[in-house]
Structure 1
Amino acid sequence: MVELTDVVFFGPRTTSTVLLNPNSLNGSCRSPMVEFQASCYLYVHQSEDFVSAMEVCREFDGYLVEIQSSAEDTFLVSLINNVTAPGSNPDVWTGGNDMFSEGHWTWLNSGIKFTYTNWYPGNPSNSWGQENCMQLHFFGGVYKWNDRDCLHKTYFICESESSTDPGVIG
């Protein structure tokens, strides 16, 4: 189980450990999640393999991010750039995968096939026959999609649905 103090959130160019307060809302999202359109996002600056990252997201009532549009992709890249030290350009897990059928990319949580893509040219490549998980990867000055071995450890972004009615909390 992930302790709340284990989640490190990088604010604009600074580092701080965040204790998630279920009574604290950031718009329609629980702090420190960030709202965009109808979803909440948490950038987790903790290296995990794909399955472990998925489990951490579930502990926060979310799932690995599912990128449905160019606008969402641009937002996520901005989130990474705004909260990461200049020049570090980390890889970031998403929920994209082709674990169940090679070459048929779907989102892990919803099972929906990709309708929008932003692959780096030549990807997905399935190098060494083991790249079944999708990450945002920094190529030549921009983030693009890349397939990667699911055992690789990297940062990740969790997504959950935003709510205009937080219900009874606490």
Structure 2
Amino acid sequence: MRSLSLICLFFGLVWAQTTPSGEEDSTASDIAFSPFIVTDGKYALGTFAKVNWYQAQATCASYGYTLVSITTESDQRAVRNFLYTRGNAQLPLLDAPLWTSGTDLANENTWIWFSNGRSFTYRNFQNGLSYYPSSNKNCIAVYAITGAWVNEDCSEQRYFVCEKRCLFED
């Protein structure tokens, strides 16, 4: 009799844990998914897939981030430090430049940070060049190792760096 009670209890628990058809399992929907393997709370490195600049921005936004803006030399050091320390295991993947939010899509050779709309006041272009006449290189990517910026075609497939979005209160 005792073993029959235990069997009934076991099957009762199993039955109670199943989800009726048509209803979503709340435990599965409560699990947070993030495509970013490398993050420090402020920055996140997107190395799960190479994407174009627009897809990188959309992916960052989907998870509460935006493509990184490097507005000062201090920002430059912070991003480089993040990439070197946190992304160290990913460095073999990072031999090509990574997308940032820098762009001149609105006005040729007038560079802004798309994530905050600010014009460039600090620049770190490779070889000091920020303009390639008659080119489609309208988006900025940064080299993880050197920190140098390069103009790239926005449709190129690259890994990317996101930063946590600022939330403004009214």
* Larger Rg belongs to: 2
Matched with 1:101 is 107
Matched with 1:123 is 129
Give per-residue Cα distances to partners, 1:2-56, cap 9 Å, x unaligned: x936x2424xxxxxxxxxxxxxxxxxxxxxx424xxxx11111131100000000
Matched with 1:113 is 119
CA 1:122 to 1:73, structure 2 compared with 1: closer, same or farther past 3 Å? Answer: closer
Matched with 1:9 is 37
CA distance in 2: counterparts of 1:70 and 1:81, whole angstroms: 16
Amino acid at match of 1:119: F
- 1:19-98 to structure 2, matched below 5 A, reads 33-35=39-41, 40-45=42-47, 46-82=49-85, 83-84=87-88, 85-88=90-93, 89-98=95-104
Helix, strand or coil: the match of 2:143?
A: strand
Residues 1:148 and 2:152 are matched in the alignment: yes
Q: Aligned residue pairs: how many?
A: 132
Give per-residue Cα distances to partners, 1:49-107, cap 9 Å, x unaligned: 00000000110112111112112111212222231445552311000000010000001
Please provide the CA RMSD for this pair.
2.4
Amino acid at match of 1:9: I
Could you tell me which runs of 5 or more consecutive residues in structure 1 were left unpaired when the two chains were aligned.
11-32, 164-170
Amino acid at match of 2:126: Y
Deviates more, 1:83-92 or 1:108-117: 83-92
TM-score under structure 1 length normalisation: 0.68
Q: What fraction of aligned residue pairs are identical, expressed as a percent?
A: 21
CA 1:143 to 1:107, structure 2 compared with 1: closer, same or farther past 3 Å? Answer: same
Deviation at 1:110, TM superposition (A): 1.5
CA distance in 2: counterparts of 1:71 and 1:99, whole angstroms: 26
CA 1:86 to 1:107, structure 2 compared with 1: closer, same or farther past 3 Å? Answer: closer
TM-score under structure 2 length normalisation: 0.68
Q: Is the 8 A contact 2:64 2:165 kept in 1?
A: no
- Answer 1 or 2: which has greater strand percent: 1
- Answer 1 or 2: which has greater helix percent: 2
Deviates more, 1:147-156 or 1:127-136: 127-136
